[in-house]
Amino acid sequence: MEKIIKEIASLASNGLNVGELAGTPAILTRDDFEIKSLEHLQPTPNRIRQAVTVSTSQSLIDYTNKFKIAGTAIFCDLDSLNVKTIFDYHANPQAARWGDHTASYTCPHSKDWKAWTGKNKSAMSQIEFAQFIENNIHCVASEGNVVSGTELLAMVLTFEETRKSEFKSVQRLQDGTMSFAFTDEKSGGGKTRLPEEIILGLQPFHNGDYYQIKARIRYRIKDGLLTLWYELINPEKVIEDAFNTTIENLKSNIPDVDFYEGNLA
């Protein structure tokens, strides 16, 4: 208390007046006529000024329910996958507020989603493609594929064995696979297969729901060299659905708060 009294006295001696501004102690300084708030000398601040970033949707639920007041609003932005609670938002057109107490959550992508979207439409050598599939074979869905995960793994491992082979042609088969014909100095040549598409089971968001998404296998043969890649089918629709599911969960667990689609510029 003594320290506060001394600071106020010092400010007063260097200022023109100690009074109140909108209910907050303030001083008009002598040198530059600047109004300086003395709110920091009060036992508590006039209002909460805090920009919080939470790591999980459950934390956003808990924090919002703890601090929400009349007029609290939540803005949901699909483009940035961000959800922001503004606690002291305008309750109505006649009750403007500062909006400087917020809590923000951005849906984090899962490691598997980042792995598959990171290589989406990226041309790879047959060895690189085989290694990628081998490292991520756990993402192949157990149902709906023309070949099992075990069969697919055996197929891609064949490409590692044929890394010095010269590929000649590709034939699409009725069973949904493609047959790659190659020649080899040692073995004389042969054929190996890959499915035209695979179905993946991925979590778009960390600890979120699983979704099935198709990936079409693409290829190019030039001068005997085989290049492979895949194209995910409509990954943006999967993200949109996963984000909307997150929002519905928030709505179910945060009552009496308005939700809006969009962001604050």
Question: Could you give the 3-state DSSP secondary structure of residue 210?
Answer: coil
Claim to verify: residue 116 and residue 162 sit in the same structural domain:
yes
Q: Is residue 215 part of a domain?
A: yes
What is the distance in angstroms between the CA of the first residue and the CA of the last residue of the chain?
42
Q: Residue-wise pLDDT tens for the chain (265 aa)?
A: 566 555 555 655 555 455 555 667 777 776 776 777 776 777 777 778 899 999 999 999 999 999 999 999 999 999 999 999 999 999 888 888 989 999 999 999 999 999 999 999 999 998 999 999 999 999 999 888 999 999 999 998 888 787 778 898 899 999 999 999 988 877 677 888 999 999 999 999 999 999 999 999 999 999 888 999 999 999 999 999 999 999 999 999 999 999 999 998 6
Q: Is residue 133 part of a domain?
A: yes
What is the tally of structural domains in the chain?
3
Which amino acid belongs to residue 185? E
Q: Is residue 264 part of a domain?
A: no
Claim to verify: residue 169 and residue 202 sit in the same structural domain:
yes
CA distances from 129 to 38, 181, 203, 228 (A): 65, 17, 22, 6
* Rg (the chain; Cα; Å): 30
Q: Is residue 255 part of a domain?
A: no
Q: Which residue range is the domain that position 96 belongs to?
A: 47-106
Q: Is residue 245 part of a domain?
A: no
Claim to verify: residue 227 and residue 123 sit in the same structural domain:
yes
